[in-house]
Amino acid sequence: MHLQRVQVPDFRVLKDVDITFEKDFNPRVFPLGSQNGGGKSTLLQLIFVLLHCSTNPRRLPALNNLLSSFMLQAGEDKKELAVIDIWDENKTIQLDFFVVSERHLKEFNKNLDVNLDDKFESLTKRIQQQQSITEGESQEAYFFANFLIDEIIKSLSLMGDTILITCYVDIDEMNFPRLLTLLCNIKNLGGYKPHEFLNCLSNKIFLAAPSTQVFLFLDEESINSLFKSNSVYQSNLKKINSILPSLFTYDFLATELLINFFKSIRDKDFKEAIKTGEYGDNYKKSLQNLNLIMNNKQVNLSEDFSSITFKIIGLDNSINLYPQDLSHGELKRLSIYVWLKYKNIEDSIVLMDEVDLALHPDWQYKITTDLVEWSPSNQYILATHSYEVCEALTPSHVKILKPKLTERRTK
């Protein structure tokens, strides 16, 4: 899979975005630059949530949270959210995500055998009744999106190549709730079925970012808690992380992930022993690769697979390194490598935010070749402020979100 083009007319800070990621470029690594507040993180999160959450009911809360700020203006019945072109190695498939009002949605119903009028009327009354109690608090209004999703998606899940993704509630200018619906029109599917393609695509999109990032797919209360207590934000991020398996936060060392990685390659060697009578060498090769990433340090796993230790190669094996003996940059590179290998991320679209943080300029320059070496079949889109990351590739690889990056000044 390859993200070929993304267009976002108007979403939060993103205005008239139209970026092409050329499918024939080699390597398929694209730095994405802008000034602070230019919308890099917003763009990556929008792409990730739309492609990862659209066909999985458990992930709809993340999608609805993201949409909470995407409203129709007075008199609008339809509004474009994003157009995403995906190259599937044979053809370009276009995904057009747009939001419509209840009135516009009913136009689709004319071609169906079901009648949604009664359901809309009943659900609208429920919202109105709740509205009179809550006096327009959007938190309560969102509760009724559950009813809308349950009732409507069953009847309106497939309309040719246009599929219903989710329903959510907007509070209009008069402080009155109204139903909005996110639809996706898919063009040039070929032999795919719409849900089949989106399900496949959802397993081929990944997002890596620091946990200190403001994630727009968290609920409003969690985001606002950043100005009160980070513990609430981190706790809720961990919860939503459990329903978004393709999200990875690479702060410090992902110890649990590393232990699970060791267990998986141990099991792989054991399966080879059962099949051939001889243990494989996957564990040995993986240790060698990890040690190369850590330069002169060696990674070791405890015999009970409960913890890991680090030692300096060539010194007394009884001397363990402590966490403070390892740099943030070393642990970050190690975590990214293990994440790619443990999740078996191949032939995928990998979105990475602030990948250069904590890396020495030499490692920032090298991270593009590292990623290609670690998992060469992926496409990587790297939101970055690093000139070193950008200079490691051709100028055509580098994509800019306006306002444009200022040039480096020399004295």
The model's pLDDT over 343-356, given as tens digits with 9 standing for 90+, comes to: 889 999 999 999 88
Residue 341 falls inside a structural domain: no
pLDDT score for 113? 42
101-105, 232-236, 259-263, 360-364: which is most confident: 360-364
> Which DSSP state fits 324?
G
Pick the closest to residue 186 from 93, 91, 88, 55 (CA basis). Answer: 93
Residue 340 falls inside a structural domain: no
CA angle, residues 156, 49, 145, in degrees to nearest 5 = 45
130-175: pLDDT as tens digits? 444 343 344 444 444 444 544 454 444 445 577 778 777 766 555 5
Residue 132 falls inside a structural domain: yes
Residue 121 has pLDDT above 60, yes or no: no
The verdict on 16 and 112 lying in the same domain is: yes
Residue 382 falls inside a structural domain: no
Q: Average pLDDT of 319-337? A: 76
The verdict on 88 and 201 lying in the same domain is: yes
Among 299, 325, 351, where does a domain finish?
325
Q: 330: which 2 tokens?
A: 């070393």
Rg (CA), the chain: 24
The verdict on 146 and 124 lying in the same domain is: yes
364-404: pLDDT as tens digits? 898 999 999 999 999 999 999 888 999 999 999 999 987 64
31-44: pLDDT as tens digits? 998 887 788 999 99
CB contact at 8 A, 309 and 302: yes
Q: Which of 224 and 106 is assigned the larger pLDDT?
A: 224
On the CB side of 114, how many CA atoms lie within 13 Å of its CA?
A: 15
Among 325, 355, 386, where does a domain finish?
325
Q: How confident is the model at residue 409 (pLDDT cuts 50, 70, 90)?
A: very low
Q: How confident is the model at residue 124 (pLDDT cuts 50, 70, 90)?
A: low
The verdict on 82 and 200 lying in the same domain is: yes
The verdict on 81 and 95 lying in the same domain is: yes
Q: What are the angstrom distances between the C-alpha of 269 and each of 51, 236, 276, 288, 300?
A: 34, 37, 10, 15, 17
The verdict on 172 and 281 lying in the same domain is: no
Residue 41 falls inside a structural domain: yes
The verdict on 184 and 268 lying in the same domain is: no
Among 226, 249, 272, where does a domain finish?
249
Q: How confident is the model at residue 270 (pLDDT cuts 50, 70, 90)?
A: confident
Beta bridge partners of 83: 7, 96
Least confident stretch, 174-178, 191-195, 300-304, 390-394: 174-178
pTM score > 0.75 for this model?
yes
> Which DSSP state fits 16?
E
Residue 320: helix, strand or coil by DSSP? Answer: coil
Residue 113 falls inside a structural domain: yes
The verdict on 143 and 20 lying in the same domain is: yes
List CB contacts of 199: < 8 A, sequence separation 6 or more. Answer: 55
DSSP 26-56: SS-EEEEE-STTSSHHHHHHHHHHHHHHTT-
Residue 227 has pLDDT above 80, yes or no: no
The verdict on 9 and 135 lying in the same domain is: yes
The verdict on 243 and 133 lying in the same domain is: yes
- Count Cβ atoms within 10 A of the Cβ of residue 166 and give its class: 0-12 exposed, 13-18 middle, 19 or more buried: buried
The verdict on 87 and 120 lying in the same domain is: yes
Sign of CA dihedral 307, 312, 313, 319: negative
Sign of CA dihedral 337, 339, 344, 350: negative
Residue 221 falls inside a structural domain: yes
The verdict on 228 and 279 lying in the same domain is: no
14-34: pLDDT as tens digits? 999 999 999 999 999 999 988
85-119: pLDDT as tens digits? 999 888 999 999 998 877 777 665 555 444 445 55
Number of domains in the chain: 2
> Which DSSP state fits 230?
H
Residue 390 falls inside a structural domain: no
Q: How confident is the model at residue 324 (pLDDT cuts 50, 70, 90)?
A: low
Q: Which domain holds residue 321?
A: 254-325
Q: Average pLDDT of 264-272? A: 83
